[in-house]
Copies of this chain bind each other. A is one copy, B any other.
Amino acid sequence: MVIIMEKDIQESYIENIIKRLDEEGFSIHRSTGVEHTLLGVIGNTSKLDVRDLKIMPGVADAYRITAPYKLVSREFKSEDTIIKIKDVVIGGEEIVIMAGPCSVESREQVMTIAERVSKAGAKILRGGAFKPRTSPYAFQGMGEEGLKILREAADKFNMLVVTEVMDKDQIELVCKYSDILQIGARNMQNFSFMKALGKTKKPIFLKRGIAATIQEWLMSAEYILSGGNANVIMCERGIRTFETYTRNTLDLSAIPVVQKLSHLPVMADPSHGTGLRSKVLPMARASVAAGADGIMIEVHHDPDHALSDGAQSLYPEQFDELMDQIRVIAKVIGRNIAERRDQ
Contact = CB atoms under 8 A, between A and B. Distances in A.
Interface of A: 2, 4, 7, 20, 27, 29, 31, 33-36, 38, 40, 42, 44, 46-47, 49, 51-52, 54-56, 60-61, 63, 65, 68-69, 75, 132-139, 166-169, 186-187, 189-195, 209-211, 213-216, 219, 222-223, 226-227, 239-247, 249-257, 260, 273-279, 282-283, 285-291, 304, 306, 308-312, 325, 328-329, 331-333
Given A249-B241, A252-B283, A38 B132 contact: no
Residue from A36, A68, A192, A222 with most neighbouring chain B CB atoms (10 Å): A192
10 tightest A-B contacts by CB? A211-B211, A31-B31, A51-B311, A286-B286, A285-B289, A289-B289, A186-B189, A286-B290, A282-B290, A29-B33
Given A7-B75, A31-B38, 8 more contacts: A2-B4, A36-B65, A51-B276, A211-B242, A241-B242, A253-B273, A282-B290, A285-B290
A69 B325 CA distance: 34
Chain A interface main SS type: mixed
Q: Which of A29, A210, A289 has the most CB of B within 10 A?
A: A289
Nearest to A251: B249
Nearest to A274: B253
A319 to B, nearest CB: 16
A116 to B, nearest CB: 21
Contacts of A226: 136-137
A90 to B, nearest CB: 19
Contacts of A187: 190
Assembly stoichiometry (copies):
4
Given A31-B40, A239-B241, A133 B249 contact: no
B239 A55 contact: no
13 contacts: A2-B4, A49-B309, A54-B311, A68-B137, A132-B191, A136-B191, A169-B192, A245-B257, A250-B252, A256-B278, A286-B286, A286-B287, A288-B289
A128 B331 CA distance: 36
A316 to B, nearest CB: 17
Contacts of A54: 311
A215 to B, nearest CB: 7
